[in-house]
Amino acid sequence: MSESRPPFPPFTEETAVKKVRGAEDGWNSRNPERVSLAYTPDSLWRNRAEFLQGRPAIVAFLTRKWVRELDYRLIKELWAFTGNRIAVRFAYEWHDDSGHWYRSYGNENWEFDGNGLMARRFACINDLPIAEADRKFHWDQSVPRPADHPGLSDLGL
């Protein structure tokens, strides 16, 4: 049986929003193996200046990422969609092992196969140092972002 991850393309606004929220919830789990299952086995990525291919590379990348980016909390927002492609903007907050906080901003372009698995992901990301008092993402890290927590637009980001 082939793998699948609904919703499937072609996307509507409703299904694209569901896909984006599913991705946000997955990444907020900080579980590299779980996250990798949303991608095709040979998925192609560009993340900043790093190029990856395949689930083992994705797992290795995410493992390194979440060892370095502590107390990671992410919000994604749909930007545009068509057919089997979705564009999102996102921000996430984290701190390093020295206690310095950052808000990382970015955009991603996603392309899905017919089974709803992401075949290509291209991410551009910039990091902004912030004071801990300037954090905006406040929810229990052990659960997905609550439905009543503001999104990026609501937070003025």
DSSP string, 20-32: HHHHHHHHHTT-H
Q: 119 near 44, Cβ under 8 Å?
A: yes
What domains does the chain contain, in order, with CATH numbers? 13-90+107-124 (3.10.450.50)
What is the full per-residue pLDDT of the chain (157 aa) written as tens digits?
579 999 999 999 999 999 999 999 999 999 999 999 999 999 999 999 999 999 999 999 999 999 999 999 999 999 999 999 999 999 999 999 999 999 999 999 999 999 999 999 999 999 999 999 999 999 999 899 999 999 999 999 9
Alpha helices, DSSP H only, in 5-125? 13-28, 32-36, 55-68
Query: String of b and e for 12-47 (b: at least 16 CB within 10 Å)?
Result: eeebbbebbbbbbebbbbbebeebbebbbeebbbeb
* CA–CA dist 45, 119 (Å, integer): 8
| Nearest residue to 141 (alpha-carbon basis) of 91, 92, 84 | 92
Amino acid making up residue 76: K
| CB atoms inside a 10 Å sphere around CB 131 | 8
The verdict on pTM exceeding 0.85 is yes
